[in-house]
Structure formats: C-alpha cells, structure tokens
Amino acid sequence: MDDVINALLDKGASANDISDKIKDVLFAKSAKRVDDIKPDVSSNLFADQETESEPEATNEVDQEEESND
C-alpha cells in the first residue's frame, strides 16, 4: 500500500505506473482471500461427495452377499 501512496505523491510517476501498482495491491489482497477460503470450500465440496459415495459402495456389497447365499 505504501508503494501506491508513494507513486501518487511522485510527480514523475505516470498514470500507468500508478494504475499498475493499484492493480498489484488489489490482486494480492484478492489472492490472499481466495487462499484463505480454499480449505473451507474444498472440505465442504469433497465431504459431500464422500457421504454420497459411501452408501453406494455398501449397497453393492450387500447385493453381492445376497447373490452368494
């Protein structure tokens, strides 16, 4: 953030330089938020899939046992 302020105060800085610094700061902040949220999202996503697939596997085993009897 200090880079942005320094660029704004620098009379020799171009508008493109200031814009690039602002974009860099915003990108860094958004990347941090995405990294913070990733574990929660992935655990919720894969936890749902695991609970759905477990009963299917159990049903297949039950059907095989019945056919062997």
Segment-wise mean pLDDT, segments of 10 residues, the chain, 69 residues: 84 88 94 93 77 54 60
Structural domains counted in the chain: 1
Amino acid at 67: S
Global pTM exceeds 0.85:
no
7: which residues sit within 8 A by CB, 6+ positions away? 13, 17, 18, 21
For residue 47, give its domain range.
Answer: 2-68
Neighbours of 32 (CB within 10 A): 10
